[in-house]
């Protein structure tokens, strides 16, 4: 059974014992990301994440950092989102102490050397270029650009080239000191571990972690009165698009109905949109519907890559399914199928120590409470056909519709597409 503890310095620890597991995952989540940035330092959270791998006094360079876990066959990485930055290490359980020593050293003792910062600018800009060259990835960013415009929620996590090039050591250290605190940090250890022993070790390894005052995140404003479109011209063999609606944040009780609704729409290979757009009309190789929820925003979106000449037909088919869900109640069989799918996929997704660590640590950081998978599924099981219908009627409205497109499309076609966004 998972266990939570809080150290004297305010650091929260979650342990998830998994009997007979061969691996142990150590995961650190920090409640900061691009939503916590100002325009001039947009991309700082992500850049700083890179800099943790550049050296400490004990491990003075990238080679020493990486070979520590490479020599024991460990896995490790870091990530940044709009509201969370994470660092993790997954090792054979007999190497748990090495993982704790390694991750605490990086987290607390990184040097952030000016010379390394200058070198890393090239790496981060190439990462940005990589995303810009991937339409299936970039179109999702354009969708959020459209939703949130020029405010932190609408800015790129990686940042813009001009900001990245202007980063210096002082700004980076300032950001680390003001945004990294025991107040917004959770450490989770999952695997075949003893909770009490792990808590004692973390208390030793992270004794230096400081409880500092944190800046407030700017609240996201959502303003929309009619369907909106963002087009990005690019010579591609396929047109990629996101068509979706504003929905609910992670604290909304309607999020469970929203998740089931998205599964029914485009969550798997027997979903309505997969059958309609791919199987019956052969317009796309990939099409899926998903939900994104954060502390103050949320949306449901369908994304697809289709024949360049089939954009209008694909949009019409998707809107037809949105309208059907809104105007015609789903069947009890469809609801049961979605619930069973969610139950099965959750079970499969939690089949490793790193997945378990992420499941519990994310809850603790973002919501301040811990539910087991079964407790979450009980809330899902309570969702009724009427709940799905209520959510569909609430979100599938013209004034909540948004469409982002990447492909060989001209701005003059915008007016024609606007006429299609009727629901």
CA atoms in the 13 A half-sphere facing the CB of 105: 22
Q: Would you please indicate which residues are annotated as catalytic (active-site) residues?
A: 49
CB-based contact 209:185 (threshold 8 Å) = yes
What tokens appear for 108 in the block?
């607390």
Q: How many CB atoms sit inside 10 A of residue 226's CB?
A: 10
Question: Which of 354, 321, 303 shows the shortest CA–CA distance to 88?
Answer: 354
What tokens appear for 212 in the block?
């500092």
User: Burial of 112 by CB count in 10 Å (0-12 exposed, 13-18 middle, 19+ buried)?
Assistant: middle
Q: How many CB atoms sit inside 10 A of residue 385's CB?
A: 14
CB-based contact 182:7 (threshold 8 Å) = yes
* Helices and strands (DSSP H and E) totals, the chain: 16, 11
Q: For residue 278, what is the enclosing H or E element? A: none
26: which strand partners? 89, 189
Question: Which of 241, 247, 378, 229 shows the shortest CA–CA distance to 302?
Answer: 241
CB-based contact 284:314 (threshold 8 Å) = yes
């Amino acid at each position: 059974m998972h266990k939570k503890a809080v150290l004297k310095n305010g650091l929260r620890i979650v342990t998830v014992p998994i009997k007979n597991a061969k691996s142990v995952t150590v995961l650190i989540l920090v409640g900061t990301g691009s939503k916590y940035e100002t325009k001039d330092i947009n991309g700082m959270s992500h850049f700083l994440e890179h800099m943790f791998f550049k050296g400490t006094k004990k491990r003075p360079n990238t080679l020493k950092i990486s070979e520590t876990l490479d020599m024991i066959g460990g896995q490790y990485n870091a990530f940044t989102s709009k509201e969370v930055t994470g660092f993790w290490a997954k090792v054979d359980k007999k190497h748990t102490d090495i993982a704790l020593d390694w991750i605490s050293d990086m987290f607390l003792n990184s040097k952030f050397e000016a010379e390394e910062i200058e070198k890393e600018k090239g790496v981060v800009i190439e990462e940005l270029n990589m995303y810009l060259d991937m339409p299936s990835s970039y179109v999702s960013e354009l969708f959020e650009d459209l939703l949130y415009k020029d405010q932190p929620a609408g800015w790129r996590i990686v940042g813009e080239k001009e900001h990245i090039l202007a980063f210096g050591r002082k700004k980076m250290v300032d950001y680390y000191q003001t945004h990294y605190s025991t107040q917004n940090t959770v450490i989770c250890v999952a695997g075949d571990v003893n909770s009490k022993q792990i808590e004692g070790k973390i208390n030793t390894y992270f004794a230096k972690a400081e409880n500092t005052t944190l800046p407030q995140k700017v609240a996201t404003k959502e303003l929309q009165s009619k369907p909106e479109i963002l087009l990005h011209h690019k010579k591609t063999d396929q047109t990629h698009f996101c068509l979706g609606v504003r929905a609910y944040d992670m604290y909304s009780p309607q999020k469970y109905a929203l998740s089931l609704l998205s599964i029914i729409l485009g969550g798997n290979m027997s979903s309505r949109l997969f059958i309609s757009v791919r199987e019956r009309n052969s317009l796309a190789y990939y099409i899926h519907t998903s939900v994104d929820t954060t502390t103050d925003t949320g949306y449901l979106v369908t994304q697809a890559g289709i024949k360049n000449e089939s954009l209008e037909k694909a949009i019409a088919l998707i809107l037809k399914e949105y309208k059907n869900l809104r105007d015609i109640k789903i069947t009890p069989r469809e609801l049961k199928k979605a619930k069973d799918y969610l139950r099965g996929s959750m079970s499969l997704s939690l089949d490793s120590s790193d997945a378990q660590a992420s499941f519990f640590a994310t809850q603790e950081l973002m919501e301040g409470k811990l539910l087991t998978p079964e407790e979450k599924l009980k809330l899902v099981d309570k969702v009724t056909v009427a709940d799905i219908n209520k959510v569909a009627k609430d979100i599938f409205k013209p004034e909540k519709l948004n469409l982002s497109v990447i492909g060989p499309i001209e701005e003059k076609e915008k007016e024609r597409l606007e006429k299609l966004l009727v629901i």
